[in-house]
Amino acid sequence: MNTTTRISTAERLGRSVGRGWRAYARGERRLSSWLASKGVPVVVAAFALWVVKLTALCLLFYVASWLAVLLLLGVAAAWMAGSLARRDDRWAQQDELRNGEAGFGLYSSSGQRIDPHDPNDPFDG
């Protein structure tokens, strides 16, 4: 029996997200301190960082909303195409297998036999 514990996929994913968040926070802190070293007031630097964050969030929502619109248009087009196909099939009379004037076979809606057969064959009809 193996006594070593294995890290689950969820824990591995959480750790990688945490590392990414720490790297982002570290970069933000470095940028803020760099701006402060260049003479920008700390309040203005913090405000600029918040503007960048909100702009990125708005851009993300904008792209997501257009993707949602495209998805809805695709679903609507598929639904309309499906309903058109059903509407065409509803009124069309179907060919069917039945006993008719020329024996048992495939007949059209007008009563004509449409499958290949030999009318002189004694076993056909």
pLDDT at 124: 62
Q: Is the pTM of this model over 0.75?
A: no
Whether residue 32 is found in the same domain as residue 76: yes
Whether residue 47 is found in the same domain as residue 67: yes
In a domain, 63, yes or no: yes
Does the pLDDT value for residue 63 go beyond 90? Answer: yes
Does the pLDDT value for residue 123 go beyond 60? Answer: yes
Whether residue 34 is found in the same domain as residue 68: yes
Whether residue 22 is found in the same domain as residue 45: yes
In a domain, 118, yes or no: yes
The range of the structural domain enclosing residue 108 comes to 94-125
Question: Half-sphere exposure of 70 toward its Cβ, with a 13 Å CA cutoff?
Answer: 6
In a domain, 4, yes or no: no
**Mean of all residue pLDDT scores within the chain:** 87
Mean pLDDT computed over 29-40: 93
In a domain, 2, yes or no: no
- Number of domains observed in the structure of the chain: 2
Does the pLDDT value for residue 24 go beyond 80? Answer: yes
Whether residue 14 is found in the same domain as residue 55: yes
Rounded Cα–Cα distance for residues 124 and 98 (Å): 13
Whether residue 35 is found in the same domain as residue 46: yes
Q: Residue 116: pLDDT band by 50, 70, 90 thresholds?
A: confident
Q: Residue 90: pLDDT band by 50, 70, 90 thresholds?
A: low
Whether residue 102 is found in the same domain as residue 89: no
